[in-house]
Amino acid sequence: MQNSSAALTFCDITQSYAAKGGGVRTFLSEKRRFLLENTDANHCLIVPGAEDRVHRNGRTATIEIKSPQVPNSPNYRLLLRSRAVLRALDLARPDLIECQDAYNLPWTALFYRKKHQQTALVAGYHTDFPTVYVEKYLEPRAGAFVARQVKKLAYRYAANLYKRFDGFYTLTQMAAEHFAHLGVRDAGILSLGADTKLFHKAQRSDALRKSIGVAEDAPLLIYAGRIDGEKKARLIVDAFHKLPKAWNAHLVMLGDGNERQSLVQECADMNVHFPGFVDDRETLAAYLASSDIYVSAMENETFGISVIEAQAAGLPVVGVKAGAMIDRVPPSLGRLGPCGDSDAMAANIAAIWMDRLSNIGERARAHAIANFSWHATFETLFFNIYDSALRKRTSRNVVDISLQPAKAS
C-alpha cells in the first residue's frame, strides 16, 4: 500500500483476540497476510496477553498488554489498561486504527485521536454483544422484559459510539440496516472469507478417519469452535445422541472451552471425540475434509467463518435458523432448525445424511468459491472503507496497490 510520502501504518486493537482460535483472530491473521503479500503497508496489532511484550518482524508488530483472563473463558483476556494502550499507540503512530469490539478500547482510540487529528478510526461490528452478552446474561437473572429493555439501551450505546468513528462496517446487511435505524448511516458491509485453496475436499484423509474409528460407510460429524454455553456445544452432543445407533456415527468436537471437560467425561463411552484446539490450519482443513456434515447450534453468529470453511471443504451444514446462519446456509446447502431444539437438529442431520448422494457437498464448495474470498474481503476493507475514512481525516488515501486476482481451486 503506497502513499506519495511514506507507507501507511494500520493498527488493530481488540479485546476479542483469543489465545486459541476465534473468528477475530482468523480475520486479523488473514488481514496481516494480505497486507504483507499485496502492499507495502505496516501493521500493528495491540491485544491482551499474559505479559507485556512487543514482537517485531519486519513491517509488522504485535504488542501484548498484560491482562487478566475472562472468567470461565480461559482463551480470552480483559484489556482494561487504557494508558498502556495509549503508550502502544504512541509507539505505533498509526495512520488508521480499527477496533473490533465496543467496550473501553474504542473510547481509548477516540481519546488518542484528540491529540492526533489525522488518525482515522474505523469500527468493525464483529460481535452482536447486546444480544449475546447483555440479553442472554440478563434474561435468566432479571426476566425477559428487563433483558430486552437493557438490550435496547446497549444498541443505543453502540450507535452513539460508532457515530464518532470515521468508518463503520458490519458483517451482514441485516446488521447494517439495524444500525441505520439507530442513526448510523452509510455503514459498510464486509463479507469475510475462507481460504478455498486450503479448505478443500482434497485434504480428506482416510487415515484420520480410521484413527478416529469411523467405518467407511458411517457418518462423521464435526464442529469447530469454542465448547461452551454461548456456542451451544452441549446441544450438538445431545442431537448426536439421538441419531440411529445402527449408523455407528461419530462426532468430532474441535476446540476448547469451559464445557469441554464435563462433556469429555459424559461422553467417555460414546463415539464423541474431543481432540482439543487445533492451531495448525492444515490439520483443521484435514479434519473438515475428512468429515461428512458440519454442525453448529450458535444462535447469534455475526458471520460464521467456520461455516464457510466447512462449505469450502465440501460439507453440508446443519445449524439453527438465527443470526448470520440464515444467510450462510441456503436450503440447497444444508438444513436449519429452531434454536435450542436437539430433536430438530437430529432430524436435520439424519435428513442430510440420507441425502448425501445429491451432490450437496459439491454445491457447498461451489458456493464458497463464488461468494467468499479473503482477497475480496480486504479489497473492500482497504479500497472502500479505509480509503473513505482516511479521506475524512487527511489528504492521504489508499492508492497504487497492484493486486493479483484471487485464484480459487
What average pLDDT does range 133-154 have in this prediction? 94
What is the mean predicted confidence (pLDDT) over 341-359? 93
Asked if residue 356 has pLDDT above 70, the reply is: yes
The pLDDT of residue 327 is above 50: yes
Q: Which fold has domain 201-370?
A: Rossmann fold (3.40.50)
**Predicted local confidence at residue 4, as pLDDT:** 38
CA 166, 171, 172, 174: dihedral to nearest 10 degrees? -60
Does position 403 have pLDDT exceeding 70, yes or no? no
The pLDDT of 40-66, averaged and rounded, is 96
Residue-averaged pLDDT of the chain: 91
The whole-number average pLDDT for the span 198-216 is: 94
Determine the pLDDT at residue 374: 94
372/403: higher pLDDT? 372
Residue 49 is predicted with a pLDDT of 95
What pLDDT score does 242 carry? 96
Percent of the chain with pLDDT over 90: 80
Residue 92 CA to residue 86 CA, distance in Å, equals 10
pLDDT at 397: 66
Terminal C-alpha separation, the chain: 27
CA distance 12 to 28: 8
Q: Is the pLDDT assigned to residue 2 strictly greater than 50?
A: no
Q: What pLDDT digit, counting tens, does each position of 240-295 carry? A: 999 999 999 999 999 998 899 999 999 988 899 999 988 889 999 999 999 999 99
Looking at domain 9-193+373-393, does it have CATH number 3.30.70.580?
A: no
CATH 3.40.50.2000 segments of the chain = 9-193+373-393, 201-370
pLDDT for 279: 84
* Per-residue confidence (pLDDT) for residue 301, from 0 to 100: 84
Mean local confidence (pLDDT), 288-312: 93
Residue 260 has a pLDDT of 92
Query: Percentage of the chain surpassing pLDDT 70?
Result: 95
Q: What's the rounded mean pLDDT across residues 214-226? A: 94
pTM confidence score: 0.87
What is the reported pLDDT for 195? 93
Confidence at residue 404, expressed as pLDDT on a 0 to 100 scale:
44
List the strands of the sheet with 120-125, edge to edge: 53-57, 60-66, 42-49, 9-13, 96-99, 120-125, 167-170, 188-189
pLDDT at 3 over 90: no
Question: Positive or negative, the Cα torsion across 332, 338, 342, 344?
Answer: negative
Confidence of residue 407 (pLDDT cuts 50, 70, 90): very low
The sign of the CA dihedral 315, 319, 321, 323 is negative
Does residue 258 or residue 316 have the better pLDDT? Answer: 316
pLDDT band at 406 (very low <50, low <70, confident <90, very high): very low
What pLDDT, on the 0 to 100 scale, is given for residue 303? 87
Can you give the pLDDT at residue 28?
96
Average pLDDT over residues 130-152: 94
